[in-house]
Structure formats: C-alpha cells, structure tokens
Amino acid sequence: MRFVASDGVVRLADALASQFDLFAPREVDGKLVLARLSEAVGDRPPPAWNAFRLPDSLKPLWFQSGKILSRWTRDGPVPGPVPRPRAVFGAKACDLRALAILDRVLREHDFKEPAWCAAREQNFIVAGDCSDAAPSCFCTMFGEQPWPRDGYDLSLSPVDGGFILVAGSERGQEVLEAALPDAPPPTRAQTAERDEIRAALQERIIAQNEQYATHDPFETSIEKQLRTRIWGRLAATCVECNACNIVCPTCHCFLLFDRAEGAGAVRFSQWDSCFHAGYARMAGGGTPRLQLVERFKNHYFHKFVSFPRNWGMTACTGCGRCIDACMGRIDKRACLRRLETEWMPSEVLADVE
C-alpha cells in the first residue's frame, strides 16, 4: 500500500501507456466518457477521476458488438490481427463485479469464448473507490460496497492531497514498483480518512435506497409473482428500446453473422436483446414470448432467478445504468420492491387457479 500525489497517477498512466492500449475517463462536452488516451507520453491528458461508475460500462472494451471473430478464404481460416492488450483506469466495484459475472459465462465453464479469455488474461485494471454516487446507484441492495474488494491489478482511494494505491495482483505490484518506486506507505491518518470516506458513502447509498428496501430475496418475490398480472403494470411504459440491455454491464447475449469481405468472408458477433420480439424465436417461426410483457418478465427472471441458479451469482450489480437509460422511466429498484409488496392473489391468472 502506497500514498501517491496526483502527479504520481500521471506517472502511472505513462508507465501503463507504454505497455497497453490505455483507456480512462476523460471529459468530452462536459461529460465523462471512457476514452482512449493519446499514445504520446507527456502529451496525454491524465485520467480524470470518475467519482462513480461511468455511463458506459467496461463491457465494450473486451466484448464489442460487431467484433470480427474469424476470417476465411477458400483456402481456409486467415489469422486476424492480434489486438494490443488493454488497460483501463476508473473501474468501480460494480464494474469489477460485472466482469466477474461475464467471466462466469465466457471463461469459467464448458464454453470458453477465446477472444474474451485472451483479453481478460492480458488486460490490466486500475480500479478506484467511488467518492460520490449517482441517484440511481443501488449496489448496497446486493450487499455490495462502493469500493473494490478484488478483481483489480491496482486500486486508487482518494484522500487529501492524493491517493492511497493498493496492488491487487502480482502484475499490479510490479507496475507499482516500477512506476512509483519512491512512493511512501500511507500514514495511519490517511488510511483512517479513506475508511471514513468509504463508510460515509456506503451509508449515503443505503439511505438513498431506503424507499426501495425489500426483505425477501428477489428470487422469492419474482417466483411468487410469475403468474400474476403485475408484470403488465411494471412494463406499462416499456417501449422495447433495448437500452437497458445495451448499457447493462452484465448482459451478454449475442448473435453470429457471416458476411462476404474481399475474396473471403468474416464471422462477426452482434449484441442481442431479450426485449426484441425475435429474441426467443425458433426455427419454425414460433416464440414462447410473443408479448412484450412476457419478455419483460423474462428479463427479471433471468437476472434474479435463473442466472443465480445456473451460475451462482445474481446477474445485476446495482449499477443503475438501466435506470438512467430507460425511455419509459422504469426503475429496476422500484420494480423489485413492487414485486415484493404488490402481492394480490386475486390477480393470479385463471389458468393456474
């Protein structure tokens, strides 16, 4: 554990830019976005401090829609360019949890997505405490906290005059030693300050979500409501725009397409959305989820019931991006609370009474 002043973070960014394709929060038109920093060392804006998660998730860094997965000619497969490993600044605890969820699907079980596996083994993550929260943040409703616990190489915690820097991997320790060999350990007062900032923000996030507090596991409420009419009320303003899937750091459904290119062809992936009418369509043209309300329900069932059963973790981090992006002003926290509190047995659909 070290203490670094702000110029130390610039040195760290320089060191990473010499080894990685470096991405960091950067202000564009008054908004923070995840941007590729200039290659020119010394001529690069330092990473901006993002007080809470960015509107964009980290998912597109390693799981792009439209990514070319293979190339072919009549003579067989053609190796594609080997991408430069990427490093990213500004990952928050919810971002790290989202990467762990994607790892569960794409890396840790029978099916291993080669490009994801390669990228995750080579990437470098500089995480950071949240020092503020968006009104839509609700990580604490999952028992999480607004600072990183694991899944990072280095982590920054803001304190007066700079940051406490912690290595979370051997590679992180090596980069830290090489880039900032003289950085001193933090004082007790500095670690106490960090802990106070963390605890105060955690309390604030809990307080801002009190109105959505639930007591039963989300899984229980959703299963209880599976055959009731509440879903029509929850989905009443949904316009099927798919924004919630696109911004979600954990949604990972994709389609594969081939297209002719030059003398051969390429195969590429494209993100799918479970809100699309064609999402569950089968070869004969039929679909079990013809109605939007069924697809809306499936989205909740998947994230909070079937994914935890199949993969051992909830497929939601409480990042709140879907709340900010929803054109229908549908708030996932409010829906989860309504699923627990609006239980009306008289509304159970007749076919199961």
Residue 63 lies near ligand SF4 (rule: CB under 6 A) = no
Walk across the sheet containing 2-5 and list its strands.
Answer: 2-5, 162-167, 154-159, 124-128, 86-91, 21-28, 31-36
Could you tell me the two tokens for 147? Answer: 């600072």
Candidates 85-93, 120-128, 253-261, 312-320; binding stretch for ligand SF4 (CB under 6 A): 312-320
CA distance 63 to 68: 11
Q: Is 14 in the site for ligand SF4 (CB under 6 A)?
A: no
Residue 229's SS3 state is coil
DSSP code of 51?
S
> Token digits for 51?
């007080």
CA distance 92 to 139: 11
The binder of ligand SF4 chosen from 2, 194, 297, 321 (CB under 6 A): 321
Stretch that binds ligand SF4, among 85-93, 110-118, 245-253, 335-343 (CB under 6 A): 245-253
Binding mask 247-266 for ligand SF4 (x = CB under 6 A): xxxx----------------
Site residues (CB under 6 A) for ligand SF4, limited to 72-131: none
332 and 322 Cβ atoms separated by less than 8 Å? yes
**47 lines the binding site for ligand SF4 (CB under 6 A):** no
In the complex, what is the shortest distance from the CB of residue 330 to ligand SF4, in angstroms, rounded to a whole number? 5
What single-letter amino acid sits at 124?
A: F
Q: How many CB atoms lie within 10 A of CB 105?
A: 19
Query: Which of the residues 274 through 293 are near ligand SF4 (CB under 6 A)?
Result: 275
- Paired with 254 in beta bridges are 271
Q: Note whether 239 binds ligand SF4 by CB under 6 A.
A: yes
CB of 211 to ligand SF4, least distance (A): 16
Residues within the interface to ligand SF4 (CB under 6 A): 238-244, 247-250, 275, 303, 316-322, 325-328, 330, 332
